[in-house]
Chain A
Amino acid sequence: SQTIHQWPATLVQPVGSPLSLECTVEGTSNPNLYWYRQAAGRGLQLLFYSVGIGQISSEVPQNLSASRPQDRQFILSSKKLLLSDSGFYLCAWRYRENTEAFFGQGTRLTVV
């Protein structure tokens, strides 16, 4: 069966520090991968998605970047965090287009 791992679960970082969140999927190959952010009490905002190694589509210009160095690995990064980067970050994967997405457990990021 397929599983998705996302870490860390919780992170507190000072303003101006770098960020690296990692997501890996097991049990499938060539998945579509996604990073979402969820602000408190709000819906999901799609940040990035990838349909293959090295391919990244950015949905919202911001202080973040994403990379896909391996088929089942998706990384969310920042060189310098802002207070506004605080939120709940969710990684997700899909088999292919027009299928349901499966989510990781999320990372709670607090920038102080």
Chain B
Amino acid sequence: AQSVTQPDIHITVSEGASLELRCNYSYGATPYLFWYVQSPGQGLQLLLKYFSGDTLVQGIKGFEAEFKRSQSSFNLRKPSVHWSDAAEYFCAVGDTGGFKTIFGAGTRLFVKA
């Protein structure tokens, strides 16, 4: 069965510093991969997605992610974090049937001044 692992429950970075959030997935074929962001008390917003093609994907708000098949990873990066980036981030993979999305447990990002 498909699964998604986000190894870091929470991460704290300084404003202006770079960010990398880790995501590993378990999937037999070429996966459909997503990163979402959730502010407290809000729904989830799609940051970026990977379906095929270029393994470096650009998203909104200055985020990017790189698909590495050999490592079964889809890590999210941002070169310079802003205080407004503080939120919870979810990595997700589409299941083989295509009807469902499997989410990781999330990583809470804290940004310090």
Which A residues lie at the B interface, using CB under 8 A?
6, 32, 34, 42-44, 46, 49, 51, 57, 59, 88, 90, 92, 97-98, 100-106, 108
Contacts and interface: CB of A to CB of B under 8 A. Distances in A.
B100 A46 contact: yes
Contacts, number: 50
A102 B46 contact: yes
State the main secondary structure of chain B at its contact with A.
loop
B94 A98 contact: yes
Interface stretch (B19-27, B76-84, B102-110): B102-110
Interface of B: 32, 34, 36, 41-46, 49, 51, 90, 94, 97-101, 103-106
B7 to A, nearest CB: 13
9 contacts: A6-B43, A32-B99, A42-B106, A49-B100, A90-B43, A98-B94, A100-B49, A101-B46, A101-B101
